């Protein structure tokens, strides 16, 4: 076996994620795509449910013809019980040998557990950033070219634009 895990929240899954995934697929036979913070939804940081994110990602994988090399799974976060989180991933995920992540916490926790952890090159990070994309959606700016077409499709069909706009409004109101 030669499998890597790619960890993210994918709120939503954008072209930067896709490029990273393709970059990993050049290095690994298969990839476990770990959709983190799986239990949350309807917050600014995590607007979409796990089911909605799986729908987006599964359609993208299908359209790219890589469903036979990528295994998407949802994993809840453990709030601040960080020392349990890696074990939760290992319990819920098919086996993998390496972890790809740029998040310092994910990197540290897997390294403390003895995993090899690799960095992912950033692909036009200014543009492909989930927070910025949500902000663009909220403000009515251009965003559709930043995510795969399948994501646009799902996001619209579930009323995602309205939801993000509302959550953005709440966040702004709280900041004032």
Q: Site for its own copies (CB under 8 A): which residue of 26, 104, 140, 176?
A: 104
Distance of closest approach, residue 21 Cβ to its own copies, in angstroms:
16
Given the complex with its own copies, which of 98 and 163 has the nearer CB atom? Answer: 163
> Tokens standing for 24?
């990993």
Q: Site for its own copies (CB under 8 A): which residue of 23, 25, 64, 88?
A: 88
DSSP letter (8 states) at residue 147? S
Q: How many CA atoms lie within 13 A of 26 on its CB side?
A: 6
Distance of closest approach, residue 128 Cβ to its own copies, in angstroms:
19
Please list, residue by residue across 130-161, b when 16 or more beta carbons sit within 10 angstroms of its beta carbon and e when fewer do.
bebbbbbbbeeeebeebbbebbbebbeebebe
Q: Does 97 bind its own copies (CB under 8 A)?
A: no
Residue 105 CA: distances (Å) to CA of 83, 108, 168: 11, 5, 26
Size of the residue set binding its own copies (CB under 8 A): 44
**78 phi and psi angles, rounded to 5 deg:** -110, 35
Given the complex with its own copies, which of 79 and 142 has the nearer CB atom? Answer: 79
Query: Which spans of this chain sit near its own copies (rule: CB under 8 A)?
Result: 38-43, 46, 49-52, 54-55, 58, 62, 67-68, 71, 73-74, 80-84, 86-88, 90-95, 104-105, 108-109, 112, 159, 163, 166, 169-170
């Amino acid at each position: 076996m030669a499998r890597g895990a790619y960890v993210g929240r994918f709120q939503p899954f954008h072209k930067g994620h896709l490029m990273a995934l393709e970059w990993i697929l050049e290095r690994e036979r298969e990839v476990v795509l770990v959709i983190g913070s799986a239990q949350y939804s309807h917050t600014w940081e995590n607007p979409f449910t796990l089911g909605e994110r799986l729908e987006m990602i599964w359609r993208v994988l299908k359209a790219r013809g890589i469903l036979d090399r990528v295994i998407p799974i949802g994993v809840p976060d453990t709030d601040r019980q960080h020392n349990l989180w890696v074990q939760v991933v290992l319990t819920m995920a098919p086996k993998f040998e390496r972890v790809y992540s740029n998040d310092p916490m994910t990197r540290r926790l897997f390294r403390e557990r003895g995993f090899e952890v690799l960095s992912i090159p950033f692909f036009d990070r200014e543009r492909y950033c989930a927070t910025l994309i949500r902000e663009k959606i909220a403000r009515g700016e251009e965003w559709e070219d930043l995510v795969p077409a399948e994501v646009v499709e799902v996001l619209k069909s579930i009323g995602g634009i309205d939801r993000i706009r509302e959550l953005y409004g709440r966040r702004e109101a709280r900041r004032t």
